[in-house]
Amino acid sequence: MENKKLWVVAAPAIFTRFTTFGTGVISQAFIGHIGSKELAAFALVFTVFLRFAQGILLGMANGLETLCGQAYGAKQYDMLGIYLQRGWIVSLVASFLLLPIFIFTGPILKALGQDDQEIADMAETMALWFIPIVFSFIVSYTCQMYLQAQSKNMIVAYLAAAALSIHLFLSWLLTMKYKFGIIGAMVSNVLAFWIPNAGQLLFVTCGGCPQTWTGFSTLAFKDLWPVFKLSVSSGAMLCLEVWYNTVLILLTGNMKNAEVEIDALSICLNISGWELMISLGFMAAARINFFLSVRIANELGSGNSKAAKFSIATTVTTSISIGFVLFVFFLLYRGRIAYLFTESRDVVSTVAHLSPLLAFSILLNSVQPVLSGVAVGSGWQSTVAYVNLGSYYLIGVPIGIVLGYVYNMQVEGVWIGMLIGVFVQTIILIIITCKTDWDKQVSIAQKRVNRPVLARPNPLPSTELTDVGPGRAGP
């Protein structure tokens, strides 16, 4: 029964993740056939700057996911629409604050050590095309969190499939047939991100969610501070994960033969990203997000701690099984898939050399995101943020720098250090999950969703909505 519940939501969620992630991969594939410098510039902006913004906005949307999931489990349906509107407000403010990094991409890259002037200048021009994509995340992530809490993610899957098909056709038409180059690829990219958003907004506001959407309300502007705090904690938790790969790209950009190394590494990270979408699909119920966190949030909100624990065991087992199959697959096929992204033999050779590390990354990706989903569903975002900070940046990055630069292992050494950080984080999350008192988490969740300050026009004197970790007192 639990597997049926899992696949009913996770299957369309996985498909949605694949198609959404595939939008960037398709653009990268077409740009890679335009030229290697163009591919390196796109990889820098996409992996460093867009993922930076994506991490913040997706992470902040995870705070909405916790609130919507637990409110739906507690049958407080009217609050989901209010939470969605609050999510729009918080994300819009964050998006405006992110604009300078896309406007000043060139100087930022040079300050970070990018020596190739041509790549930096090309990245600066390309970054301006990513600004409308950043604003697309406001609608995309918040609507997905809102819909996944209600297990209504099939509409998102349909829209994502349509957008991917259009993107593939337009990319070929504008870059290969009519030779518009980078401009053609980026126009198609922007449209691919915004087409699903229009469909999601129409679905939500035009009768697709009659129980939870009752129209726009001034309540959305009340009690924003507690929601903002939870969103910031969620953002910090996820950003520390997303930026981890960004650090890997930045460190690689300062090495010898950086153009080939960045191209090869970006291909490996994209392949790893495809597998990560499966785990995120199990965590999600429709980005940027988590199936398991919805199951946990729903069960905690409804007071069922045993079901929450069983959901964790079932989902982890399924995700690991799929991850192991893909682990073996990429060990066997090594660098052959790289030809989808490039025609450079040097890049393909480097990808083949990095394939064992890619395979181990895929195996870890089948466990770590699912455990993070437990944190999102339970509201432990701030606890996991500290875990990520320690394991990634106090352990993984320093080891990677020593192996890559001191022992001259180059990108391979940096990646090994990063994998060690992910392994440490995974072990800590396993320990936290196993030692959690789930009956206490039920009590915490029910206090959160029943707080009058979040649900009434005339709130009682506010007590802050705080993130809670295992064993800590509730708000």
Let me know the angle formed at the C-alpha of 64 by 233 and 205, rounded to the nearest 5 degrees.
155
- Of residues 75 and 253, more confidence is placed in 75
The answer to whether residues 174 and 180 touch, using CB atoms and an 8 Å cutoff, is yes
- 66-70, 123-127, 157-161, 456-460: which range is least confident on average? 456-460
The yes-or-no verdict on residue 467 having pLDDT over 70 is: no
Longest dimension (CA), the chain: 66
- 92-101, 217-226, 385-394: which range is least confident on average? 217-226
Q: How far apart are CA 427 and CA 425, in angstroms?
A: 6
The answer to whether residues 64 and 219 touch, using CB atoms and an 8 Å cutoff, is no
Closest CA to 294 of 1, 8, 28, 82: 8
- Rank 107-121, 227-241, 282-296, 362-376 by mean pLDDT and report only the highest: 107-121
Q: Which pLDDT belongs to residue 136? A: 94
> Within 13 Å of residue 280, how many CA atoms lie on the same side as its CB?
24
Over residues 439-451, the mean pLDDT reads 62
Q: What does the pLDDT look like over 229-266, one tens digit per residue?
A: 777 777 776 777 767 777 777 777 666 666 677 777 77
The answer to whether residues 342 and 348 touch, using CB atoms and an 8 Å cutoff, is yes
Closest CA to 306 of 294, 296, 316: 296
Q: Which pLDDT belongs to residue 274? A: 60
What is the amino acid identity at position 110?
A: K
- Rank 27-36, 219-228, 343-352 by mean pLDDT and report only the highest: 27-36
Q: Which pLDDT belongs to residue 452? A: 46
Ordered alpha helix ranges (H), 206-256: 224-252
The yes-or-no verdict on residue 465 having pLDDT over 50 is: no
- Of residues 190 and 386, more confidence is placed in 190
- Predicted structure pTM score: 0.69
**Helix or strand or coil: residue 409?**
coil
Percent of the chain residues past pLDDT 70, beyond the cut: 75
Burial 283-318 (b: 16+ CB within 10 A, else e): bbbbbbbbbbbbbbbbbbbbebbebbbebbebbbeb
Over residues 158-168, the mean pLDDT reads 92
- 363-367, 391-395, 445-449: which range is least confident on average? 445-449
Q: What does the pLDDT look like over 260-297, one tens digit per residue?
A: 777 777 777 766 666 555 545 444 432 323 344 555 55
Q: How far apart are CA 126 and CA 171, in angstroms?
A: 16
- 199-213, 287-301, 431-445: which range is least confident on average? 287-301
* Average pLDDT of the residues of the chain: 77
> Within 13 Å of residue 460, how many CA atoms lie on the same side as its CB?
7
The yes-or-no verdict on residue 167 having pLDDT over 90 is: yes
Q: Which pLDDT belongs to residue 395? A: 94
Q: Which pLDDT belongs to residue 447? A: 64
